[in-house]
């Protein structure tokens, strides 16, 4: 199975471990993520005012490039997925705006590409039961809290990946890998997102609320699919400890990193050394990676 793939900016820089673990895991499952020959940044946000058509040009160019390669487009970053899927829907359903954007880019795109997150490919095409059979190293004894954040699920009418209030897709994936899944109340709360740039204090507090909720439920690891969420939850922990007595550090991983380990793949290039809270001691203690 070959699927055109948009990695996005962050997966080529700060979140490279997300990209490498995803490609390796997909390959092991018979899926080749074929990077688009030409791509640009998606814009990183879907415009609040959709009459701001210039903000939709960048994601439209990506979708157009995907159309040249096939009928589908896979992506990993929750933000990229949100922007591309919502742009695609607007172009498909709003003829007036579609015509204006096509006129500007001097190309013809009608919103026909299917935008897919790797999670839904694993759920709908591989199947979690089939995935369970492919696991080489079951992650038993590892208590993992799945964190969805905002953009992977919302707005429901435009994204439609899972129930935005009570999602299960990450839960089900982790169970198929053998993890002990830890549900927690803040699994869909916002981490602060881009407030990390303008208000570190707000982002720190919002991220603390999420992590302290997961820790209270017994989590040893938090898993996400958003590089910005991973950064906010990971990077802010030193400050959380200074401001909140008794706070314990907890590693923040991408779901593909655990997937790769479970499939028995070499995790040496998954970028663990770039995490602020190093997950390797815990993973080694659980006999999931070599020391």
Compute the distance between CA of residue 119 and CA of residue 225 in angstroms, rounded to an integer: 9
CB 279 within 8 A of CB 247: no
Phi, psi of 232 (to 5 degrees): -60, -45
Q: Write the pLDDT tens digit of every residue in 180-190.
A: 999 999 999 99
Q: Residue 25: how many CB atoms within 10 A of its CB?
A: 25
- Helices in the chain by DSSP H: which ranges? 16-28, 57-69, 78-93, 95-105, 118-121, 128-134, 156-159, 169-176, 195-198, 200-216, 227-235, 237-243, 255-262, 280-285
Confidence of residue 222 (pLDDT cuts 50, 70, 90): very high
What per-residue confidence (pLDDT) applies to 88?
98
Rounded to an integer, what is the distance from CA 70 to the centroid of its chain? 23
CB 74 within 8 A of CB 117: yes
What per-residue confidence (pLDDT) applies to 15?
97
Instruction: Determine what percent of the chain is predicted with pLDDT higher than 70.
Output: 100
> Which tokens sit at 7?
């990695």
Q: Write the pLDDT tens digit of every residue in 156-209.
A: 999 999 999 999 999 999 999 999 999 999 999 999 998 888 899 999 999 999
Query: What residue segments make up the domains of the chain, in order of their start?
Result: 2-118, 137-285
Q: Write the pLDDT tens digit of every residue in 22-40.
A: 999 999 999 999 999 999 9
CATH number of the domain located at residue range(s) 2-118 in this protein = 1.20.1050.140
What per-residue confidence (pLDDT) applies to 197?
84
Give the pLDDT mean for 77-92: 98
What per-residue confidence (pLDDT) applies to 196?
86
Topology of domain 137-285 in CATH is: Rossmann fold (3.40.50)
pLDDT at residue 291 above 80?
Answer: no
Please, which residues have CB within 8 angstroms of residue 19's CB and are 6 or more apart in sequence?
Answer: 7, 11, 12, 76
Q: Residue 232: how many CB atoms within 10 A of its CB?
A: 27
What per-residue confidence (pLDDT) applies to 111?
98
Rounded to an integer, what is the distance from CA 35 to the centroid of its chain? 17
What per-residue confidence (pLDDT) applies to 257?
98
Q: Residue 67: how many CB atoms within 10 A of its CB?
A: 19
pLDDT at residue 116 above 80?
Answer: yes
């Amino acid at each position: 199975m070959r699927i055109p793939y948009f990695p996005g900016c962050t997966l080529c820089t700060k979140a490279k471990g997300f990209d490498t673990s995803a490609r390796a895991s997909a390959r092991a499952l018979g899926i080749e993520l074929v990077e688009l020959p030409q791509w640009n940044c998606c814009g990183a946000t879907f415009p609040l005012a959709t009459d701001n058509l210039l903000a939709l040009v960048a994601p439209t160019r990506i979708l157009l490039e995907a159309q040249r390669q096939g009928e589908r487009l896979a992506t990993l970053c929750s933000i990229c997925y949100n922007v591309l899927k919502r742009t695609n829907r607007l172009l498909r359903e709003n003829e007036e705006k579609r015509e204006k954007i096509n006129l500007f880019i001097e190309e013809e795109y009608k919103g026909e590409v299917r935008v897919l997150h790797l999670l839904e490919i694993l759920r709908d095409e591989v199947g979690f039961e089939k995935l369970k059979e492919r696991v080489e190293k079951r992650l038993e004894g590892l208590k993992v809290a799945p964190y969805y954040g905002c953009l992977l699920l919302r707005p429901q009418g435009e994204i439609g990946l899972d129930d935005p209030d009570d999602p299960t897709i990450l839960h089900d994936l982790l169970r198929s890998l053998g993890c002990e899944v830890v549900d927690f109340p803040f699994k869909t709360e916002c981490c602060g997102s881009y407030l990390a740039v303008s208000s570190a204090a707000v982002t720190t507090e919002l991220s603390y609320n999420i992590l302290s909720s997961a820790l209270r439920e017994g989590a040893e690891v938090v898993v996400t699919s958003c590089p910005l969420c991973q950064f906010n939850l990971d990077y802010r922990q030193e400050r959380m400890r200074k401001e909140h007595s008794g706070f314990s550090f907890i590693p923040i991983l991408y779901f593909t990193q655990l997937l790769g380990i479970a499939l028995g793949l070499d995790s040496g290039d998954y970028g663990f050394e770039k995490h602020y809270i190093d997950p390797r001691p815990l993973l080694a203690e659980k006999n999931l990676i070599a020391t």
